[in-house]
Amino acid sequence: MPSHSLTTKTHHSSGLWLHKLILISVASVLALPIVATFIYSIATQWGATVLPDAMTFKWYLQLWQDPRFLLAFGRSLIICFGTLLISALVILPMTFAVFYRFPKLKGIMDLLIILPFAIPPVVSSVGLLQIFADEPFMLVGTPWILIGTYFTITLPFMYRALANSFQGINLHDLMDAAHLLGASTFKAFLLIILPNIRKGLLVSLLISFSFLMGEFVFANILVGTRYETLQIYLFNMRQTSGHFTSALVMSYFLFTLLLTWLATRMSRSGDE
pLDDT digits (tens, 9 = 90+) for 218-253: 888 888 888 888 888 888 887 777 788 888 888 888
pLDDT digits (tens, 9 = 90+) for 97-151: 999 888 888 888 888 888 888 888 888 888 888 888 777 778 888 888 899 899 9
The rounded distance, in Å, linking the Cα atoms of 176 and 215 is 42
CB 227 within 8 A of CB 143: yes
The rounded distance, in Å, linking the Cα atoms of 110 and 203 is 19
Say what the pLDDT of residue 6 is: 47
The rounded distance, in Å, linking the Cα atoms of 251 and 167 is 37
| % pLDDT > 90, the chain | 11
Residue of 268 and 7 predicted with greater confidence? 268
Say what the pLDDT of residue 254 is: 87
The rounded distance, in Å, linking the Cα atoms of 211 and 203 is 12
Instruction: State the alpha helices, DSSP H only, in the chain.
Output: 2-41, 58-64, 67-100, 106-112, 115-118, 121-132, 143-167, 171-180, 185-188, 194-196, 198-213, 217-218, 230-236, 242-271
pLDDT digits (tens, 9 = 90+) for 33-65: 888 888 888 887 776 666 667 778 888 888 888
Say what the pLDDT of residue 81 is: 92
The rounded distance, in Å, linking the Cα atoms of 18 and 12 is 10
Say what the pLDDT of residue 84 is: 93
Say what the pLDDT of residue 182 is: 86
Across 182-191, average pLDDT: 88
Say what the pLDDT of residue 38 is: 85
pTM score, two decimals?
A: 0.80
CB 124 within 8 A of CB 219: no
Judged against a pLDDT cut of 70, whether residue 13 lies above it is answered with: no
Q: Domain 78-267 maps to which CATH number in 3.40.50.300, 1.10.3720.10, 1.10.10.10, 1.10.40.30?
A: 1.10.3720.10
CB 153 within 8 A of CB 116: yes
Contact residues for 139 (Cβ-Cβ < 8 A; gap 6+): 132, 145, 148
Say how many residues make up the chain.
272
Contact residues for 40 (Cβ-Cβ < 8 A; gap 6+): 46, 52, 242, 243, 246
pLDDT digits (tens, 9 = 90+) for 144-177: 889 989 998 898 889 988 998 898 888 888 888 8
